[in-house]
């Protein structure tokens, strides 16, 4: 991952644009990370991972019933200790 100041980024935009095609470029301003430059491909990949939020009040009775009757896979048992008080 590349990290650069905003002043350096402005001076060598083409260089960092090319670097962003290989991985994220973190741009800092006054010593603080402020932006990340990503390739369009990576941005699209991340956007596809976004999830829609649905409130339970907006779910159908069938959706709620499916949740109540869902069975956890056996491997989920490894997290049971997190439910203990």
Is 15 among the domain residues?
yes
pLDDT at position 73: 92
**SS3 of 1, please?**
coil
pLDDT at 15 over 80: yes
Q: Which residues partner with 41 through β-bridges?
A: none
Structural domain including 30 reads: 2-70
Q: How far is CA 76 from CA 18, 69, 81, 83, 84, in A?
A: 42, 16, 11, 12, 15
Letter string b/e over residues 9-23, b meaning 16 or more CB atoms within 10 A of that residue's CB? beeeeeebeebbeee
Q: How many domains does the chain have?
A: 1
Q: How confident is the model at residue 80 (pLDDT cuts 50, 70, 90)?
A: confident
Mean per-residue pLDDT of the chain:
93
Q: How do residues 28-55 score in pLDDT, each as one tens digit?
A: 999 999 999 999 999 999 998 887 788 9
pLDDT at 85 over 70: no
Is 80 among the domain residues?
no
């Amino acid at each position: 991952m590349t990290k650069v100041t905003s002043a350096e980024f402005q001076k060598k935009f083409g260089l960092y644009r090319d670097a962003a095609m290989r991985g994220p470029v973190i741009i800092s301003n006054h010593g603080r990370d402020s932006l990340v430059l990503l390739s369009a491909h990576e941005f699209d990949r991340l956007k596809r991972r976004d999830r829609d939020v649905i409130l339970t009040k907006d779910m159908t009775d069938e959706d709620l019933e499916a949740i109540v009757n869902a069975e956890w896979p056996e491997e989920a048992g490894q997290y049971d200790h997190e439910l203990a008080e």
